[in-house]
Amino acid sequence: MKLSTLMTSAALALGLASGAVAQDKTKVGFVFVGPVGDGGWTYEHNQGRLAVEEEFGDKVETVFVESVAEGPDSERVMTQMALDGADLIFTTSFGYMDPTINVAKKFPDVKFEHATGYKRADNVSTYSARFYEGRAIQGHIAGSMTESNIIGYIGSFPIPEVIRGINSAYIHAKKVNPDVQFKIVWAYTWFDPAKEADAAKVLIEQGADVVLQHTDSTAPQAAAQEAGNVITFGQASDMAQYGPKPRVSSIIDDWAPYYIDRVKAVMDGTWESKDTWDGIGPGMVGIGEISDAVPADVKAEALELKDKIASGDYHPFTGPINKQDGSAWLAEGETADDGTLAGMNFYVEGIEGTIPQ
Amino acid sequence: MIRLEKRPQPSRALSLSTPIMAVLATFIFGGLLFAVLGKDPVEALQTIFWQPLFGEYAFYYRPQLLIKGAPLVLIAIGLSLGFKAGIWNIGAEGQYIMGAIFGAAVGLAFYPAEGWYIFPLMVLAGALGGWAWAMIPALLKVRFGTNEILVSLMLVYVAEQFLASMSLGLLKNPEGYGFPGSRNLQQYASAHNAELFAGSGMHWGVVAALIAVIFAYVLLTKHRLGFAIRVTGEAPRAARFSGVNPARLVLFCLGTSGLLAGLAGMFEVSGPSGQITIDFNVGYGFTAIIVAFLGRLHPIGILLAGGLMALTYIGGDIAQSNLGLPAAAIQVFQGMLLFFLLALDVFTHYRLRFGAAEAA
């Protein structure tokens, strides 16, 4: 293709022209789906970016563009970064998958890292976190603390990642409280404070005294605070400003170690395409401090669960587990394989309602 | 005391010069905004307006201007017809979505068959989808006198839900591991709205936008229907006396704007975007309203305004990554443009008077 040759030669020319500078400065680009001040998903990716700057100082230059729409806009932003001499580009939303692959084809010398996707190439890696490990701990605390036995859950989109989280939280809530019931509301957004607040209010009105969220704003926390006797968990980011109650703990995405690791690999020339799916053990998923609003024994159990997951002694999806329709999924002692988890599109037994299709 | 006095005749000189004055005012106040944020205002403005056109990588950005500007122009042309006649279609975003869904659905229905007839059928389906969605507010207005502003706007949210449902259900890629989103039409040759010349940015949507500009120009200057549109906007009573059928005009204006918005959605989904996804729509339908007004509801003006808006988007992204300007600052900058345009517009119809009001 004409364009691709044109661009490769342009990139090459740039590489030659600024070769001396490029030698000691690695340029890293970040494409963000939300604003860096969202307090959740994008905020944590940006923290990772800042950690890269801190770690490598003068040896690295980072650039970012925030609130980039998925689709052709993201493709343009990535191309622009590659043209401007980026060596490594992190694209941090699932919807950037095809655009990342398209741009990567045109710039074979630039490395790409796509978060939460499943398409890879020689110069495209994928990475994601095992958030469901954190959901297990949330489920345990939620099931132990609920008095109404109704746990509200704000889903973003009915995709495998979110469904995994719901299942994991439900399984562990049910273990400590057989009467527990989940009410799930789909917000169809990752970040929309108004919609998230509405969803939280609806759930609280329906009797939920625990609200879990898979959306990124702090609006549900604020709604819970207003309602009074409701507890919540920080999502993606610690959201500590809502502690010690309603926010009693949180799942924190910690991308910093991974970002530093990958930037270093590019500097050393050891970068290669791979798929990374890390959890609590390697530190990609962090559990925010469990506040004093949680009874001491529950807190101790939660921390024990966390340690067991981190060490690999316990897998949150360990049989016996049936699917929602009653058919067997995992036998006694069997653990789920990553393939099934990656494409999970069913609820486990006991959850009411259907996954929107 | 300062007050506004209505001019007997709108000032023609001001009507032509306000867009330019608005752009200049945006430069000045936008520059101040960037300066307050600690960036060199000249460099920021140069990055936004100069880089994409004449900078080092202009060979890449110029085609991108066409890709970004075409849907804006296509939608804005349709909207301008209605706006001229006082018929307010605010729901182009919804019609854009429906056009994309209809178009993509027809293409995907043929998958994996290849044939020359598939793309033309998709174009027809896209136009039909947008037109049908706009017919809802049109018919409700004609039959029951409902407000088309509210109905068309509310239908945007209905269309968004429809889009989510399609991405998760009916049109979901069966090989997508359960993730939402359709197959990528870019990888399906018969349904791909590819560039007509590689690297030029020219796809069928750009061609359609240019045709729409010419069509609208001829309609408004040469055709009786264009006359009816203009008269209805300027003097509704006179229009009725001169034999204009208001109901038919509502159906025509909303239908045409819906049709063009549907086409824009269809060209986008089969070309630059490639996929029906939950977040497919990125606000072209709303931005086109700005483009229509910035272009003074005139076809040539809209063409220029669409280019200008596309420039601020592309340049804005460059400024974010090169200068570290926050996205919000770029959005404020774009907002300023419309604000100054509307603010200065007041002076086309009114003049400032100093001193106390004269006794009547």
Q: Do B321 and A84 touch (CB under 8 A)?
A: yes
Q: Are residues A110 and A153 in the same domain?
A: no
Domain boundary among the residues A129, A147, A175 is at A129
Q: Are B199 and B63 in contact (CB under 8 A)?
A: yes
Q: Which two tokens stand for residue A131?
A: 């958030």
Q: Is the minimum CB–CB distance between B19 and chain A shorter than 8 Å?
A: no
- Is the pLDDT confidence value at A82 over 90? yes
pLDDT single digits (tens) A35-65: 898 778 899 999 999 999 999 999 999 999 9
- Judged by average pLDDT, the poorest of A256-260, B145-149, B266-270, B338-342 is B338-342
Looking at the fold, whether A18 and A111 belong to one and the same domain comes out as yes
Mean pLDDT of B68-77: 97
Q: Identify all chain B residues contacting A342, using CB atoms and an 8 Å cutoff.
A: 177
Contact (CB, 8 A) for B348 and B15: yes
Residues A214 and A117 in one domain: no
Nearest 10 degrees: Cα torsion B316, B321, B326, B327: 50
Radius of gyration of chain A measured on its C-alpha atoms:
21
B356 located within any domain? no
Flag whether pLDDT at A8 surpasses 70. Answer: no
Identify whether residues A82 and A147 lie together within a single domain: no
Interface touch B321/A68, C-beta < 8 Å: no
Q: Is A85 on the interface with B (CB under 8 A)?
A: no
What's the CATH code of the domain at A109?
3.40.50.2300
Residue of B nearest to A30 (CA): B321
- More confident site: B109 or A8: B109
A344 touches chain B (CB under 8 A): yes
Q: Are residues A14 and A95 in the same domain?
A: yes
Same domain, A184 and A331: yes
Residue A227 included in any domain: yes
Give me the pLDDT at residue B10, please: 79
Domain membership of residue B12 (yes or no) is: no
Rounded Cα distance, A81 and A113, in Å: 13
Q: A71–B324: do the CB atoms touch at under 8 Å?
A: no
pLDDT digits (tens, 9 = 90+) for A314-342: 999 998 999 999 999 999 999 999 989 98
The answer as to whether A172 is a domain residue is yes
Q: How many domains is chain A partitioned into structurally?
A: 2
Per-residue confidence band for A17, with pLDDT thresholds at 50, 70 and 90: very low
pTM given for the model: 0.84
| Residues A197 and A106 grouped into a single domain | no
The predicted complex's ipTM stands at 0.83
Owner of token pair 């389906």: B125
Check whether residue A196 and residue A330 sit in a common domain: yes
Domain presence at residue A329 = yes
Average pLDDT over residues A134-155: 96
Size of interface A-B (CB pairs under 8 A): 109
Mind listing the pLDDT tens digit for each residue in B215-251? 999 999 988 888 888 888 888 888 888 888 889 999 9
B-chain residues near A160 (CB < 8 A)? 177-179
Residues of the domain holding A329: 131-253+284-342
Which residue range is the domain that position B49 belongs to? Answer: 38-325
Q: In this predicted structure, what is the pLDDT of residue A40? A: 83
Q: Say whether both A44 and A154 belong to one domain.
A: no
For B329-341, how does the pLDDT look when each residue is reduced to its tens digit (9 = 90+)? 999 998 898 889 8
Looking at the domain assignment, is residue B81 inside a domain?
yes
Helix segments in chain B, DSSP class H: 12-36, 41-49, 51-54, 58-84, 92-110, 118-144, 148-168, 204-222, 224-234, 236-241, 246-270, 284-294, 299-323, 327-349
Where does a domain end: A129, A153, A184?
A129
- Which member of A6, A69, A102 has the closest CB to residue B59? A6
B312 assigned to some structural domain:
yes
Question: How many domains are there within chain B?
Answer: 1
- Let me know whether A166 and A61 are in one domain: no
- Is B11 inside any structural domain? no
> In whole angstroms, what is the distance from residue A272 CA to residue A252 CA?
27
Residue A274 within any structural domain of the chain = no
Q: Confirm whether A348 is domain-assigned.
A: no
Q: What is the pLDDT of residues B288-306, one digit of tens each?
A: 998 998 888 999 999 999 9
Q: Please say which residue of A80, A103, A129 terminates a domain.
A: A129
**In this structure, what CATH number is given to the domain that contains residue B129?**
1.10.3470
Best B51, B321, B333 residue to mutate vs chain A (most A CBs within 10 Å): B321
Whether A22 and A70 map to the same domain: the answer is yes
Residues A14 and A152 in one domain: no
